[in-house]
Homo-oligomer: A and B are copies of this chain.
Protein backbone atom coordinates (compact mmCIF):
# COMPACT_ATOMS: atom_id res chain seq x y z
CA UNK A 1 0.00 0.00 0.00
CA UNK A 2 1.43 3.37 -1.00
CA UNK A 3 1.81 5.70 1.99
CA UNK A 4 1.77 9.50 1.95
CA UNK A 5 3.20 11.62 4.82
CA UNK A 6 1.39 14.66 6.18
CA UNK A 7 3.85 16.09 8.63
CA UNK A 8 2.76 16.50 12.25
CA UNK A 9 -0.85 17.64 12.67
CA UNK A 10 -3.38 17.12 15.45
CA UNK A 11 -5.29 14.20 13.95
CA UNK A 12 -6.66 11.01 15.48
CA UNK A 13 -9.45 9.32 13.56
CA UNK A 14 -12.99 9.82 14.85
CA UNK A 15 -13.66 11.39 18.25
CA UNK A 16 -16.85 11.88 20.32
CA UNK A 17 -18.35 15.38 20.20
CA UNK A 18 -18.89 16.50 23.80
CA UNK A 19 -19.85 19.52 25.84
CA UNK A 20 -17.47 20.49 28.61
CA UNK A 21 -19.38 22.15 31.44
CA UNK A 22 -17.87 24.46 34.05
CA UNK A 23 -19.10 27.23 36.28
CA UNK A 24 -17.33 30.48 35.38
CA UNK A 25 -17.84 33.30 37.87
CA UNK A 26 -20.73 31.30 39.31
CA UNK A 27 -22.56 30.77 35.99
CA UNK A 28 -22.83 27.53 33.99
CA UNK A 29 -20.89 27.57 30.73
CA UNK A 30 -20.59 24.88 28.06
CA UNK A 31 -18.03 24.51 25.29
CA UNK A 32 -17.93 22.01 22.45
CA UNK A 33 -14.96 19.66 22.53
CA UNK A 34 -13.93 16.40 20.89
CA UNK A 35 -10.47 15.86 22.31
CA UNK A 36 -11.31 13.67 25.28
CA UNK A 37 -10.88 10.08 26.41
CA UNK A 38 -11.13 7.83 29.43
CA UNK A 39 -7.72 8.06 31.14
CA UNK A 40 -7.89 5.42 33.87
CA UNK A 41 -9.99 2.46 35.01
CA UNK A 42 -9.19 2.46 38.78
CA UNK A 43 -10.03 5.10 39.80
CA UNK A 44 -12.21 5.98 36.80
CA UNK A 45 -10.80 9.07 35.10
CA UNK A 46 -11.24 11.02 31.89
CA UNK A 47 -9.19 13.78 30.30
CA UNK A 48 -10.03 16.61 27.93
CA UNK A 49 -7.72 18.96 26.02
CA UNK A 50 -8.75 22.63 26.09
CA UNK A 51 -7.10 25.60 24.40
CA UNK A 52 -5.60 27.87 27.05
CA UNK A 53 -7.57 30.85 25.76
CA UNK A 54 -10.93 29.21 26.39
CA UNK A 55 -13.32 30.74 28.92
CA UNK A 56 -14.33 27.27 30.15
CA UNK A 57 -10.76 26.58 31.30
CA UNK A 58 -11.01 29.48 33.73
CA UNK A 59 -13.98 27.80 35.38
CA UNK A 60 -12.13 24.50 35.76
CA UNK A 61 -9.10 26.27 37.21
CA UNK A 62 -11.43 28.13 39.61
CA UNK A 63 -13.60 25.26 40.90
CA UNK A 64 -11.40 22.20 40.24
CA UNK A 65 -14.50 20.51 38.83
CA UNK A 66 -15.98 20.09 35.36
CA UNK A 67 -18.44 17.93 33.46
CA UNK A 68 -18.42 16.07 30.16
CA UNK A 69 -21.85 15.89 28.57
CA UNK A 70 -22.65 13.59 25.64
CA UNK A 71 -25.06 15.31 23.24
CA UNK A 72 -27.18 13.26 20.88
CA UNK A 73 -27.69 14.09 17.20
CA UNK A 74 -30.89 15.87 18.33
CA UNK A 75 -28.70 18.46 20.10
CA UNK A 76 -26.45 19.09 17.09
CA UNK A 77 -27.38 22.76 16.63
CA UNK A 78 -27.04 23.92 20.28
CA UNK A 79 -23.96 21.70 20.71
CA UNK A 80 -22.18 23.27 17.74
CA UNK A 81 -23.36 26.72 18.82
CA UNK A 82 -21.35 26.29 22.04
CA UNK A 83 -18.22 25.94 19.89
CA UNK A 84 -18.95 29.06 17.85
CA UNK A 85 -19.33 31.62 20.63
CA UNK A 86 -17.23 32.19 23.73
CA UNK A 87 -18.78 32.55 27.17
CA UNK A 88 -16.56 35.63 27.52
CA UNK A 89 -18.69 37.39 24.89
CA UNK A 90 -22.08 35.73 25.29
CA UNK A 91 -23.89 34.20 28.26
CA UNK A 92 -24.35 30.53 27.29
CA UNK A 93 -25.97 29.53 30.59
CA UNK A 94 -29.39 29.24 28.90
CA UNK A 95 -28.36 27.03 25.95
CA UNK A 96 -28.95 23.94 28.06
CA UNK A 97 -30.92 23.40 31.27
CA UNK A 98 -28.30 22.98 33.98
CA UNK A 99 -28.52 20.71 37.00
CA UNK A 100 -25.96 19.80 39.62
CA UNK A 101 -25.04 16.45 41.11
CA UNK A 102 -22.47 15.32 43.65
CA UNK A 103 -19.92 18.05 43.04
CA UNK A 104 -22.21 21.11 43.25
CA UNK A 105 -19.95 23.23 40.97
CA UNK A 106 -19.90 21.11 37.77
CA UNK A 107 -22.98 22.08 35.73
CA UNK A 108 -24.67 19.21 33.85
CA UNK A 109 -26.68 19.70 30.66
CA UNK A 110 -30.04 18.01 31.23
CA UNK A 111 -30.85 17.70 27.50
CA UNK A 112 -27.75 15.56 26.93
CA UNK A 113 -28.43 11.84 27.47
CA UNK A 114 -25.22 11.26 29.46
CA UNK A 115 -23.56 13.59 31.99
CA UNK A 116 -20.23 12.87 33.65
CA UNK A 117 -19.16 14.79 36.77
CA UNK A 118 -15.39 15.18 37.25
CA UNK A 119 -13.15 16.31 40.06
CA UNK A 120 -9.88 17.77 38.70
CA UNK A 121 -6.97 15.39 39.34
CA UNK A 122 -4.17 17.00 37.37
CA UNK A 123 -3.58 19.64 34.71
CA UNK A 124 -0.84 19.10 32.10
CA UNK A 125 0.48 22.04 30.08
CA UNK A 126 1.05 20.72 26.54
CA UNK A 127 1.53 24.00 24.62
CA UNK A 128 -1.51 25.68 23.08
CA UNK A 129 -3.71 23.32 25.10
CA UNK A 130 -4.01 22.17 28.68
CA UNK A 131 -4.94 18.57 29.32
CA UNK A 132 -7.41 18.42 32.22
CA UNK A 133 -7.45 15.00 33.85
CA UNK A 134 -10.45 14.45 36.09
CA UNK A 135 -11.61 11.68 38.39
CA UNK A 136 -15.20 10.70 37.63
CA UNK A 137 -17.41 11.44 40.65
CA UNK A 138 -20.74 10.39 39.17
CA UNK A 139 -22.42 9.55 35.86
CA UNK A 140 -26.02 10.45 35.11
CA UNK A 141 -27.97 9.11 32.12
CA UNK A 142 -31.49 9.38 30.76
CA UNK A 143 -33.55 6.37 31.72
CA UNK A 144 -34.81 6.24 28.12
CA UNK A 145 -31.24 5.63 26.86
CA UNK A 146 -30.66 2.47 28.89
CA UNK A 147 -30.89 -1.18 27.94
CA UNK A 148 -30.61 -3.72 30.77
CA UNK A 149 -29.61 -0.85 33.06
CA UNK A 150 -26.62 0.23 30.98
CA UNK A 151 -26.11 3.19 28.60
CA UNK A 152 -27.09 2.02 25.09
CA UNK A 153 -25.05 3.70 22.36
CA UNK A 154 -27.78 3.27 19.75
CA UNK A 155 -30.35 4.97 22.00
CA UNK A 156 -27.92 7.73 23.01
CA UNK A 157 -27.34 8.43 19.28
CA UNK A 158 -24.10 10.35 19.91
CA UNK A 159 -22.43 12.84 17.58
CA UNK A 160 -19.04 11.80 16.26
CA UNK A 161 -16.46 14.25 15.00
CA UNK A 162 -13.58 14.25 12.56
CA UNK A 163 -12.01 17.11 10.61
CA UNK A 164 -14.83 19.64 10.95
CA UNK A 165 -17.51 17.08 10.12
CA UNK A 166 -20.13 15.49 12.37
CA UNK A 167 -21.29 11.90 11.85
CA UNK A 168 -23.72 9.59 13.53
CA UNK A 169 -22.91 6.08 14.72
CA UNK A 170 -23.05 3.25 12.17
CA UNK A 171 -23.96 -0.37 12.70
CA UNK A 172 -22.44 -2.95 15.01
CA UNK A 173 -19.57 -4.74 13.23
CA UNK A 174 -18.25 -7.03 15.96
CA UNK A 175 -17.74 -7.78 19.63
CA UNK A 176 -14.56 -6.67 21.34
CA UNK A 177 -12.42 -9.29 23.11
CA UNK A 178 -14.20 -11.81 20.91
CA UNK A 179 -13.88 -11.03 17.17
CA UNK A 180 -10.12 -11.63 17.41
CA UNK A 181 -10.65 -15.28 18.35
CA UNK A 182 -11.11 -15.92 14.60
CA UNK A 183 -7.52 -14.77 13.98
CA UNK A 184 -5.41 -17.45 12.33
CA UNK A 185 -8.42 -19.63 11.56
CA UNK A 186 -9.04 -20.70 7.97
Question: Smallest CB-CB separation from A161: which chain B residue?
Answer: B176
Q: Hey, what's the 0/1 contact readout for A145-169 against B, CB within 8 Å counting as 1?
A: 0100011010010111111111111
Q: How large is the interface on A (under 10, 10 to 19, 20 to 34, 35 or more residues)?
A: 35 or more
Question: CB distance A39 to B126 under 8 Å?
Answer: yes
Question: CB distance A10 to B136 under 8 Å?
Answer: yes
Jot down 24 A-B pairs with beta carbons below 8 A, ordered by A: A3-B110, A3-B143, A6-B138, A10-B45, A12-B37, A13-B156, A14-B153, A15-B16, A37-B47, A39-B129, A39-B131, A42-B127, A43-B127, A73-B173, A77-B183, A78-B183, A79-B180, A80-B176, A83-B176, A83-B180, A150-B163, A151-B163, A159-B174, A160-B170
Interface residues of A (CB under 8 A from B): 1-18, 32, 35-49, 51, 68, 70, 73, 76-84, 95, 99, 101, 110-111, 114-116, 121-122, 124, 126-129, 131, 133, 135-144, 146, 150-151, 153, 156, 158-184
